[in-house]
Structure 1
Amino acid sequence: MKKMIANLASREKRVAVLENDVLRKLEILPPHQRSKVGNIYLGKVTKVLPGMDAVFIDYGAEKNGFLHRDEIPSFQQAKKTDGKAPIGQYVRQGEKLLVQVTRDETGTKGAKLTGLIEFSTDSLVYIHGIDYVGVSKKFNNDALHKQWRETALQYKKADEGLIVRTSMENENEAIFLDRLTSLRELFKGIERKAASLKAPTLLYERDMYLDMIKSEMSGTPSGELAIDDFAVYQELKKWQEENRKEWEISHISGTRNIFSEWNVEAQVEKMNKKIVWLDNGGYLIFEETEAFTVIDVNSGKFTGKVAKEETLFAVNQAAAKEAVRQLRLRNISGIILIDFINMDQSRHEQEIIDIVKKESARDEKRVQVIGFTELGILQVTRKRTSPSIGEMMTVPCPVCSGSGKIESPETVAFRLERDLLEHRKTDDEAVWVEVSEAVADVLLGENESYRPTLEELISKKLFLSFVSGSINTYSIKRFGSIQEIERAFK
């Protein structure tokens, strides 16, 4: 059974999706890191890039957004007759454009934008700026599928795209027109607002957590939703009645954290851990980088009771299922490399591919399974629209700068020695260095046996003071006469 737990009472909004009480998806929306995907802005073209058939758009964010020629309405309208003319024929520098964010800023990359403005409901998707009609392939009745395509073609305008979703299957034409009119009015209202404002400016902000909740409820016939915000609870109850969703919605009041009450908090706390244990004793190691993510599969404590090949295959089967769950849960996107334990039989590799594809089918983001490389590493891609949970919940370590490693005492000590040797020909008699104890131990040797040699090499008396902490570091505080350093040292 599917459950949703919505923790909306505090400034940071969290929505968890559970299946059989196992966390499958988590959306975290801190007030300072709210996703901009779906937001609509009045932007200004800052640079045209003919070589990339794209433009940069100032839409009010720290980094300018990227807009490809194919996402510009004027290109979509002209391409049937003009073919693929240079982007300069469709947009110019300094021009104002309505744009919508399709992918958030990530790392050094700015947001990805589109000029094809889209509004999505559980039954109908409206896209302004493109001539297109689509009908869900999940319709059970071919005649009904054809009927809705003809209905959409009948009522759409030349610059509109419509996608009829599965939940429209049992509705009538009047409801279709009512929802289409509502979405058209929403777009016209944004156009009117844009006409009176200067770029860049925000015109429409998507209510992301509400959209997510409604989308989950629309995708499953029934389920259970617990929510701790009474105003949102009332809004969802009203929406549920209007859209006839058979979900049990309850408002949870009280002082206890709703995630703790529903045993979700403990599962959330494990999400940023590097190692994920499997039920059979194997484990996964996650390494996220800006370029790609690597998942290493290890047999761990699992020894099995059958032949080696079958044992390794069993670990890989469990790892494939858990890896896909973790990708969705952690919102890991881009290029993903899964290093499964090497198997001798090619049919086992194919079965692992089939498991990954099957488990990925429930992911709302597009997942492509490329296949195994010659080195036995499975290549997977997952569409990126927003930062991963790890990026949202953590910051790079100020000590290791996100590498997970710091310099050894030996490395730092020998660097200090080289720095001191550079001053060996100055007239100063002494030097004061502030240093961590581990670095000092290496610099001076066991029982400070190397001190006399070092002082002779640098032609100075060495005064050391110590800093606390686990960071291997040093700071040359001062050069001077022995008397000057002794006074400062005290």
Structure 2
Amino acid sequence: MKKMIVNLSSREKRMAVLENEVLRKIEIMPPHQRSIVGNVYLGKVTKVLPGMDAVFIDYGAEKNGFLHRDEIPAYQLSKRDGESPINHYIRQGEKLLVQVSRDETGTKGAKLTGLIEFSTDSLVYIHGIDYVGVSKKFKNERLQKHWREKALEYKHEDEGLIVRTSMENESEPVFLDTLNSMRQLYKDMERKAATLKAPALLYEKDTFLEMLITEMDTTTSGQLFIDDFEAYQELRKSIQASGKDWDLSYESGPKNIFSERNLDNQVEKALKKVVWLDNGSYLIFEETEAFTVIDVNSGKFTGKVEKEATLFAVNAAAAKEVARQLRLRNISGIILIDFINMEKAEHKLEIINLVKKEAARDEMRVKVVGFTELGILQVTRKRTSPALSETMLVPCPICNGNGKIESAETVAFRLERELFEHRKTDDEAVWVELSRSVAEVLLGEKESYRSTLEELIAKKLFISYVPGPINTYSIRRFGSCEEIERSVK
């Protein structure tokens, strides 16, 4: 059974997905790293790259976004005249509406599209392309043909429509209402853009809530536990509309919903370089800017059969865990897996098939290229968002970037969650010793969040500072204001 644990009680949003009680996926979204995929901006072309058939767009972020020729409406609506250079469709200094299709990752700017897309559970609307698609999951071929004809009848020349499965038994007025509402949303953005200077934000999407709904849509039933009542109500509405059999539970207890299920420890394990397997073998993860290397080691596993069979057993167990870890850690791009060398070609083929089978659970596109002459398996995984390590870790100031420590945000929000767990105790105050960088995140700019935090934990907060560059904290004691004041002094 699929379970989702959603932690929204603090500013850092978190989601865990378990399948048969095994952790398969973690999504963590700190406020400063909130995904902007789906947001629409008024952008300005800063540079045209004819050799790459692309342009750079200033849409208001620190790094300019990247827009390929195929994502430009003028190109799509010209019936893909591939002979014309890119500056035939777009010029430097030109303003246009762009939507983020991939967040910034590492040194790369966001990937953008000029084909603006909005979607509901029954219809996808794309402005800037002439296209009609109907879900292949329709049970009735006659209705599939009917909705294709209706989409062609009502769409404009510069619009693309994709009719989803849940539209199959809906009425024509429902289809038109849905289409017109999304069409109106695009027109409203155009009007807003006409009054603004580029760059400017035109439309902001709640990507986290949408991600939860998308995750729930991958199966017809499951359980979801969440600690935010408003989000709980929104998800209930979505489930009722979809007709899926999900059991939703709102949990308001003082204990953190992640720590109560031992998920915090599992998240910490997902950041470690070494992953031990049940049979005594282990994996070593090395993430770099260019690619990720995973080394398979037999460790304590010796086996009870011949050498080749023992090596295959180690590699088979590693293949399953590697596929799980890629999804769990959200590792993308080029991945090189150094399995223990096997002599038999059929064993290598079995490992390839095993990785493919396990990767089929992944919602990201995973391609298994094959083994190199050196016995390294080449894999690629589509990148749409930062890896878990990019979200939770920052370069270590002590080792000049050769290692990583937890960010001030990660430590501050852990402290915040720990304080929340004590909000129903009778103590008047709490004394916390922490580094200044963690305090700045915890309390906000000029301690603007202090009063809110004290109200939420129902305690006066006393702070003392720990010197040094490491992001850390320690809850020294709880008690009355008088007791704590004496202790701090």
Q: TM-score range by the shorter chain?
A: 0.7 to 0.9
Q: Which residue pairs with 1:26 in the alignment? A: 26
Out of 373-382 and 119-128, give the one that drifted further. Answer: 119-128
Q: Secondary structure at the match of 2:14?
A: strand
Q: Secondary structure at the match of 1:276?
A: strand
Determine if contact 1:50/1:86 at 8 Å carries over to the other structure. yes
Determine if contact 1:66/1:113 at 8 Å carries over to the other structure. yes
Q: Secondary structure at the match of 1:161?
A: strand
Q: Which residue pairs with 2:365 in the alignment? A: 366
2:37 alignment partner AA = V
Determine if contact 1:122/1:218 at 8 Å carries over to the other structure. no
Residues 228, 119 of structure 1: alpha-carbon distance in 2 compared, 3 angstrom cutoff: same
1:298 alignment partner AA = N
Q: Which residue pairs with 1:131 in the alignment? A: 130
CA distance in 2, matches of 1:278, 1:151: 54
Deviations 1:209-267 (A, max 9, x none): 10111111222101111111111112222222233232111110021111112332221
Residues 379, 172 of structure 1: alpha-carbon distance in 2 compared, 3 angstrom cutoff: farther
1:84 lines up with 2:88 in the alignment: no
Q: Which residue pairs with 1:332 in the alignment? A: 331
Give the Å deviation of 1:147. 4.1
Count of paired positions: 408
Q: Which residue pairs with 1:36 in the alignment? A: 36
Determine if contact 2:166/2:242 at 8 Å carries over to the other structure. no
Q: Which residue pairs with 1:49 in the alignment? A: 49
CA distance in 1, matches of 2:169, 2:295: 46
Give the Å deviation of 1:146. 4.0
Residues 359, 145 of structure 1: alpha-carbon distance in 2 compared, 3 angstrom cutoff: farther
Give the Å deviation of 1:366. 1.3
Q: How does 1:260-339 map to 2 (within 5 A)?
A: 260-339=259-338
Deviations 1:256-280 (A, max 9, x none): 1111123322211111000111121
2:261 alignment partner AA = W
Give the Å deviation of 1:118. 1.4
Q: Secondary structure at the match of 1:26?
A: strand
Residues 140, 307 of structure 1: alpha-carbon distance in 2 compared, 3 angstrom cutoff: farther
Give the Å deviation of 1:143. 4.8
1:125 alignment partner AA = V
CA distance in 2, matches of 1:355, 1:145: 36
Residues 300, 173 of structure 1: alpha-carbon distance in 2 compared, 3 angstrom cutoff: farther
Q: How does 1:5-20 map to 2 (within 5 A)?
A: 5-20=5-20
CA distance in 2, matches of 1:284, 1:141: 48
Give the Å deviation of 1:183. 2.2
CA distance in 1, matches of 2:176, 2:353: 41
Structure 1 unaligned blocks of 5 or more: 406-468, 470-490
Q: Secondary structure at the match of 2:347?
A: helix
Deviations 1:108-167 (A, max 9, x none): 221111101112333322211111223334445555544443343333222122223344
Q: Which protein shows a greater Rg? A: 1
Residues 317, 228 of structure 1: alpha-carbon distance in 2 compared, 3 angstrom cutoff: same
Determine if contact 1:15/1:209 at 8 Å carries over to the other structure. no
Q: How does 1:143-292 map to 2 (within 5 A)?
A: 143-292=142-291
Q: TM-score, normalised by structure 1?
A: 0.79
Q: TM-score, normalised by structure 2?
A: 0.79
What percentage of aligned pairs have identical amino acids?
75
CA distance in 2, matches of 1:218, 1:173: 24
Out of 380-389 and 178-187, give the one that drifted further. Answer: 178-187
Residues 344, 170 of structure 1: alpha-carbon distance in 2 compared, 3 angstrom cutoff: farther
Determine if contact 2:395/2:403 at 8 Å carries over to the other structure. no
1:131 alignment partner AA = D
Q: Which residue pairs with 1:355 in the alignment? A: 354
CA distance in 1, matches of 2:145, 2:355: 33
Determine if contact 1:122/1:215 at 8 Å carries over to the other structure. no
CA distance in 1, matches of 2:316, 2:165: 33
Q: Secondary structure at the match of 2:9?
A: coil
CA distance in 2, matches of 1:385, 1:255: 34
Residues 144, 54 of structure 1: alpha-carbon distance in 2 compared, 3 angstrom cutoff: same
Q: Which residue pairs with 1:395 in the alignment? A: 394
Q: Which residue pairs with 2:114 in the alignment? A: 115
Structure 2 unaligned blocks of 5 or more: 405-467, 469-489
Residues 90, 392 of structure 1: alpha-carbon distance in 2 compared, 3 angstrom cutoff: same
2:27 alignment partner AA = E
Q: How does 1:366-385 map to 2 (within 5 A)?
A: 366-385=365-384
Give the Å deviation of 1:372. 1.0
